[in-house]
């Protein structure tokens, strides 16, 4: 029988050290070493069968040799792995034999799927997981489990079914945790691997997330970036599951998530972290926690379980006032999710004054972070929907606030959010409309005297390359992509034409080719003839005044501006035609004397043809 020293010498001589440059995984190398291990296995079998204490020393020498990558596959092929893995399940043997058996298993499985497969197929993971109950062996059992599970899904699934999560979470709550604190990061790595499998949700400890988050916030883990990130990242991984999210909503543990996110932002400065992997892991953690915060706060039950005035919303409202853009963004995201009802939005503005710190934020010329700007604007859009809130939010329309955002051409998504919010603030709110139309300065010598917020909006329309932004800025009558918005624009223009000032503005716009073409198309269904209107010709006889010629019978149809119903798309073309005819008729009536002669005659003809089409359409109904 080979002695322990003989085995140690053989493993060293025939291992990587004895064959420098050899490919240890080549078929010839594996076969040669597998054959050399036959007497080693025989010696171990004799020692065990004879109850010789030398088995412990044999296991130690083989455990030392197992660190050499050259012996990993041969250990599996020769039966060495199978021989020693059975000791893991045995009780009543020496701790030394347990320890070295674990070493042999762990080293043999490192980066070696063929041996990992042997462990899984032999159903040995159950025994290894069970061995976690022996806390003295945790420094060996936990790394062994990690070596078997990492990058090998069959082992991860088997470990999940073996309730590995519950064993690890129980240990993390143990009063003896300080005895194996250095291995907590391994715990977390294993939990992270388990969390990605569907089977895990049904068998994991129900308090996995709060236990991990609570531990992450405690010393010594809270002060070490790697420990904190490991614990919090594992929690975030489990929070991707719907059942854990629901548990977080219904329980009292959401505060732990808020604490973890705040700690990740305020306790560690990425710029001061030397290790690039640690810095990247912290960035990923922040993103994962924010995603969890967003998903959970979007749950329909969240506002019911955490109503305004309760600790969670109060914490979020406090975050709006801290000098930390990431916390403000997170608060806007979560509060935006819970402000989807008018009741909550009204309370956030009228009682909690949530908009005030955001007005200050948007007005700060030093703030250019797209994430916080977009988050603030998105939240404010929810707050701007209830009619009673609109005038209370009028501070957003100050030239230093939202109009400042219009100038940020490098942030098109932020511009879009800003112009969308502006539109919401103007809908059915006359005071806000007056505000955006008011001169920016009462000083007649100031360049701002002749400008208003409306000018900023139209300028944005001219500058922007983003069609949605241009659309929100101008509700352009030439837009073909969204017919309902074009119809709304014709309705507004028809209303404008009834005032002399409005008609004058429309007259100046009518000299533009695109506007005239769109007008002809809306009334006649084609742009044919529009070019003749735009081209100015010399002398032509004036036709009689429009009121004498448009409806010579005195009967005809009475036309009024019509607002289109989005649900009646088939009526949009008729309503567009009627609104455009009304607009042309009103402009001719109030400003006919200012029209060039040819233009006047063409428009009168356009009104006649449009009216005839309307009469024909009504007759066919």
Residues 311 and 415 in one domain: yes
Report residue 476's pLDDT band, with 50, 70 and 90 as the boundaries.
very low
Which band of pLDDT confidence, cut at 50, 70 and 90, is reported for residue 548? Answer: very low
* pLDDT tens for each residue of 578-608: 999 999 998 888 887 888 788 888 889 999 9
Whole-Å CA distances, 586 to 602, 606, 611? 15, 13, 14
State how many domains the chain has: 3
Q: Indicate whether 527 and 424 sit together in one domain.
A: no
Residue 335 falls within a domain, yes or no? yes
Q: Cis before residue 266, ω within 30 degrees of 0?
A: no
Q: Which residues contact 471 (CB under 8 A, 6 or more apart)?
A: 479, 481, 482, 485
In a domain, 45, yes or no: no
Region 110-136: mean pLDDT is 96
530 and 456 together in one domain: no
The pLDDT, as a whole number, for residue 439 is 72
Domain-located, residue 614 = yes
Interval 307-327 mean pLDDT? 97
In terms of domains, do 530 and 443 share one?
no
Tokens 């009103």 found at: 586
- Judged by average pLDDT, the poorest of 90-94, 149-153, 470-474, 606-610 is 470-474
Model pTM? 0.77
Supply the pLDDT for residue 15. 94
Task: Give yes or no for residue 75 having a pLDDT over 80.
Answer: yes
Residue 552: strand, helix, or coil:
coil
Q: What is the pLDDT of residue 518?
A: 85
425 within a domain of the structure (yes/no): yes
Work out the pLDDT band at 542, boundaries 50, 70, 90: very low
Asked if residue 503 lies in contact with residue 590, where contact means CB atoms within 8 angstroms, the answer is yes
Residue 23 lies in a domain: no
Residues 454 and 598 in one domain: no
406 shares a domain with 523: no
pLDDT of 314 > 80? The answer is yes
Do residue 496 and residue 614 come from a single domain? Answer: yes
Shared domain check, 589 and 501: yes
Compare 459 and 386 and report the one with higher pLDDT: 386
How many helices (H) and strands (E) are present in the chain, helices listed first?
Answer: 38, 0
Residue span of the structural domain in which 212 resides? 206-299
Query: Interior CA angle at 94 toward 41 and 139, to 5°?
Result: 95
| Between residues 388 and 494, the one the model is more confident about | 388
Classified as helix, coil or strand, 127 is helix
Q: What is the pLDDT of residues 439-455, one digit of tens each?
A: 766 666 666 655 666 76
Query: Which range has the worst mean pLDDT, 308-312, 369-373, 540-544, 568-572?
Result: 540-544
Domain boundary (423, 458, 474) is at 474
Mean pLDDT value of segment 289-297: 96
Quick: pLDDT tens for 268-289.
999 999 999 999 999 999 999 9
Q: Match 């969390």 to its residue by tokens.
A: 195
Identify whether residues 394 and 501 lie together within a single domain: no
Asked whether residue 100 is assigned to any structural domain, the reply reads no
Query: Domain end: 265, 299, 333, which one?
Result: 299
The stretch 325-333 carries a mean pLDDT of 98
| Residue 292, SS3 per DSSP | helix
500 and 401 inside one domain: no
Q: Is 199 helix (H, G, I), strand (E, B) or coil?
A: helix
Q: Distance between CA atoms of 547 and 568, rounded to whole angstroms?
A: 32
Q: Determine whether 175 is exposed, middle or buried from the number of CB atoms within 10 Å of its CB (0-12, 13-18, 19+).
A: exposed
- Output the pLDDT for position 595: 80
Indicate the residue among 449, 474, 499 that finishes a domain: 474
Same domain (yes/no): 344, 377: yes
Q: Comparing 547 with 384, which gets the higher pLDDT?
A: 384
Residue 103 CA, chain-centre distance (Å), reads 43
* CATH code where residue 445 lies: 1.25.10.10
Q: Are residues 436 and 522 in the same domain?
A: no
Decide if 498 is inside a domain: yes
- Residue with the bigger pLDDT between 529 and 5: it is 5
Position 319 scores a pLDDT of 98
pLDDT surpassing 90 at residue 158: yes
């Amino acid at each position: 029988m080979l002695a322990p020293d003989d085995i140690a010498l053989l493993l060293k001589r025939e291992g990587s050290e004895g064959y420098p440059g050899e490919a240890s995984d080549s078929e010839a190398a594996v076969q040669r070493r597998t054959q050399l291990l036959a007497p080693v296995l025989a010696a171990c079998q004799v020692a065990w069968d004879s109850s010789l204490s030398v088995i412990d020393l044999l296991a130690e020498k083989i455990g030392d040799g197992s660190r050499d990558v050259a012996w990993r596959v041969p250990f599996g092929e020769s039966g060495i792995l199978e021989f020693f893995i059975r000791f893991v399940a045995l009780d009543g043997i020496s701790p030394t034999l347990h320890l070295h058996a674990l070493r042999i298993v762990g080293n043999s499985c490192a980066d070696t799927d063929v041996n990992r497969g042997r462990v899984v197929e032999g159903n040995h993971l159950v025994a290894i997981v069970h061995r976690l109950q022996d806390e003295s062996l945790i420094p060996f059992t936990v790394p062994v489990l990690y070596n078997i599970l990492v990058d090998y899904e069959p082992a991860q699934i088997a470990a999940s079914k073996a309730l590995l999560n519950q064993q690890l979470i129980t240990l993390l709550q143990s009063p003896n945790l300080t005895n194996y604190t250095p291995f907590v990061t391994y715990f977390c790595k294993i939990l992270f691997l388990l969390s990605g499998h569907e089977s895990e949700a049904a068998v994991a400890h129900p308090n996995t997330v709060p236990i991990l988050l609570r531990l992450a916030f405690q010393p010594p883990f809270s002060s070490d970036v790697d420990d904190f990130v490991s614990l919090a990242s594992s929690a975030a991984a489990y929070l991707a599951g719907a059942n854990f999210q629901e548990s977080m909503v219904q329980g009292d543990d959401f505060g732990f998530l808020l604490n973890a996110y705040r700690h990740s932002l305020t306790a560690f400065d990425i710029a001061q972290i030397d290790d690039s992997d640690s810095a990247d892991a912290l960035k990923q953690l922040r993103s994962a926690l924010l995603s969890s915060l967003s998903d959970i706060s979007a749950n329909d039950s969240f506002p019911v379980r955490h109503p305004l005035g309760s600790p969670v919303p109060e914490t979020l409202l406090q975050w709006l006032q801290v000098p930390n853009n990431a916390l403000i963004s997170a608060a806007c995201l979560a509060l935006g999710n819970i402000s989807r009802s008018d009741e909550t939005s009204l309370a956030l503005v009228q009682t909690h004054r949530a908009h005030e710190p955001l007005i200050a934020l948007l007005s700060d010329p030093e703030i250019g972070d797209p994430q916080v700007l977009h988050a603030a604007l998105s939240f404010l859009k929810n707050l701007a929907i209830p009619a009673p809130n609109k005038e209370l939010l009028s501070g957003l329309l100050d030239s230093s606030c939202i109009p400042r955002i219009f100038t940020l051409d490098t942030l098109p998504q932020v511009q879009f959010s800003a112009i969308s919010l502006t539109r919401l603030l103007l809908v059915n709110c006359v005071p806000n409309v007056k505000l955006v139309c008011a001169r920016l300065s009462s000083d007649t010598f100031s360049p701002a005297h002749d400008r208003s917020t409306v000018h900023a909006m139209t300028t944005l329309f001219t500058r922007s390359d983003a069609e949605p932004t241009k659309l929100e800025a101008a509700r352009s009558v030439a837009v073909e992509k969204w017919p309902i918005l074009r119809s709304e624009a014709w309705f507004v223009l028809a209303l404008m034409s009834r005032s002399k000032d409005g008609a004058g503005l429309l007259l100046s716009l009518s000299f533009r080719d695109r506007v005239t073409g769109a007008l002809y198309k809306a009334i006649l269904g084609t742009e044919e003839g529009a070019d003749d209107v735009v081209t100015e010709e010399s002398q032509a006889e004036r036709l009689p005044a429009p009121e004498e010629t448009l409806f010579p019978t005195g009967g005809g149809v009475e036309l009024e501006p019509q607002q289109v119903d989005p649900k009646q798309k088939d009526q949009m073309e008729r309503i567009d035609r009627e609104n455009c005819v009304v607009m042309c008729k009103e402009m001719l009536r109030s400003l006919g004397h200012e029209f060039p002669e040819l233009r006047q005659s063409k428009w009168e003809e356009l009104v006649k043809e449009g009216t005839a089409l309307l009469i024909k359409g009504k007759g066919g109904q």
